[in-house]
């Protein structure tokens, strides 16, 4: 296991001039023009966030607690994807719909009690058609009951430090004390997008369930921007009479992925128009600069009692920043802070330290460093030879 970052660690500076960034002229003629920018005029709350960095590019009442309607299912899908990664469930395994799941009103795929569908089919029903019955069926399959799954949702909200979020159901149907914020939804979406496979579902515009049967069901994505805005491949709509029209969208262009959240629009047309304007604003005015790529070897760390004497240390994720177009950075420096050593055995991906990126004294980004390979234990014979060699060296 690794020593904690607070003990037995060596700090050293690795100062590197990476590149000089030269961009086009700034989009805004002056700061006042940018200050007066107004997006999402019709909405109660909105935010634009870049996914890799979490940088907020625009916000309006981002921390106002509001009913999320079916955008609740972003958290539902996140827990489904986590269960798939842990192999607690499989995409091809059958789920039997309970009476409770089949009784859900609102948006649905019309499950019948006792009907069986695969996790894959139900996930498609949630992501594309916003099926409340599909959402509850998956929740019960993962946690046993919807109530136990809701506890997992709130536990995950705590883990993500979503201080203005509380769930009372898996679907988004109106209930007292069921609320979140634009900012919290952006963070949930950021966590969900770590599982790139989810985009295989949220990017579907139309498909079928029960195909070839007399109960064939046509799925059409409630997020029309999937078809009508280049680069949009998710994420989730929501509507109730209380919440009005909501949309969390994500799109990727020129190596930058952004999330937009819009809450409380007056109509689907206004919701889509204002989301389009936010997407346009993000892509037209900002660009992502990658400081170092995921998997890039940053350093090596000594291994105590290991099969090898050192293992490479790499970036767990891309290190990047988002800059206004026209912004120049003359140089970027790195400060690497890693553990003194790792004690074998240690798994690949174990935490090993952090790397910080600076523009002068301004910290631009901080990313975790991990072991790039497993630190395997040395055999007793190898350890004996090393000890003998060390003793021989001391005697000579």
DSSP alpha helices (H): ranges in the chain?
31-35, 73-86, 99-102, 119-127, 132-143, 146-159, 182-192, 199-202, 225-228, 268-285, 380-395
Distances, alpha carbon 107 to alpha carbons 178, 322, 353, in Å: 18, 37, 46
In this structure, what token pair is assigned to residue 196? 């790139």
* Tokens 């679907």, located at residue: 171
**Which three-class secondary structure state does DSSP give residue 69?**
helix
73 is known as an active-site residue: yes
Kind of pairing between the strands at 56-60 and 45-50: antiparallel
Question: Crossing angle of helices 146-159/73-86, nearest 10°?
Answer: 90
Q: Which of the following is catalytic: 45, 60, 73, 135?
A: 73
**Token output for 75:** 């958290």
What is the separation, in whole angstroms, between the first and last Cα of the chain?
35
* Residue in 45, 98, 107, 130 annotated catalytic: 130
State the Cα–Cα distance between residues 368 and 352, nearest whole angstrom.
8
Torsions phi, psi for 40 (to 5 deg): 50, 45
Question: For residue 179, how far is the Cα from the chain centroid?
Answer: 20
Q: In the block, which residue shows the tokens 């709509």? A: 237
Catalytically annotated residue among 70, 98, 135, 189:
70
267 three-class SS? coil
For the four alpha carbons of 229, 232, 234 and 236, in that order, the dihedral sign comes to negative
User: Which amino acids are annotated catalytic?
Assistant: 70, 73, 130
């Amino acid at each position: 296991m690794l020593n904690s970052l607070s003990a037995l660690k060596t700090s050293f500076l690795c100062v590197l001039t990476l590149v000089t960034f030269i961009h086009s002229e700034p989009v805004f003629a002056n700061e006042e023009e940018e200050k007066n920018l107004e997006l999402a005029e019709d909405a109660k709350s909105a935010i634009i966030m870049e996914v890799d960095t979490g940088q907020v590019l625009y916000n309006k009442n981002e921390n106002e607690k509001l009913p999320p309607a079916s955008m609740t299912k972003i958290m539902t899908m996140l827990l489904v994807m986590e269960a798939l990664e842990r192999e607690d469930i499989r995409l091809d395994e059958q789920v039997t719909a309970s009476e409770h799941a089949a009784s859900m009103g609102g948006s649905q795929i019309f499950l019948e009690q006792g009907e069986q569908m695969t996790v894959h089919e139900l996930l498609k029903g949630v992501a594309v058609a916003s099926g409340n019955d599909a959402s509850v069926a998956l929740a019960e399959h993962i946690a046993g009951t919807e109530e136990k799954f809701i506890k997992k949702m709130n536990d995950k909200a705590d883990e993500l430090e979503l201080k203005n979020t509380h769930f009372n159901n898996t679907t988004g149907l109106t209930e007292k004390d069921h609320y979140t914020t634009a900012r919290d939804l952006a963070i949930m979406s950021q966590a969900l997008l770590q599982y790139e496979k989810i985009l295989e579902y949220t990017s579907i515009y139309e498909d079928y369930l029960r195909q070839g049967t007399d109960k064939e069901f046509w799925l059409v994505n409630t997020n029309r921007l999937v078809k009508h805005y280049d680069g949009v491949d998710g994420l989730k709509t929501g509507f109730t009479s209380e919440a009005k029209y909501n949309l969390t969208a994500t799109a990727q262009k020129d190596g930058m992925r952004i999330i937009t959240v819009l809450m409380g629009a007056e109509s689907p047309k206004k919701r889509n128009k204002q989301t389009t304007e936010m997407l346009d604003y993000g892509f037209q005015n900002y660009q992502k600069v990658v400081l170092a790529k995921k998997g890039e070897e940053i350093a090596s760390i000594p291994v105590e009692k290991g099969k090898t004497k050192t293992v490479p240390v790499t970036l767990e994720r891309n290190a990047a920043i988002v800059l206004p177009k026209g912004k120049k950075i003359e140089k970027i420096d790195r400060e690497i802070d890693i553990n003194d050593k790792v004690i074998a055995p240690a798994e690949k991906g174990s935490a090993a330290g952090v790397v910080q990126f600076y523009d002068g004294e301004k910290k631009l980004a901080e990313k975790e460093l991990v072991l790039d390979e497993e630190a395997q234990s040395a055999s007793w014979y190898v350890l004996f030879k090393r000890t003998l060699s060390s003793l021989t060296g001391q005697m000579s």
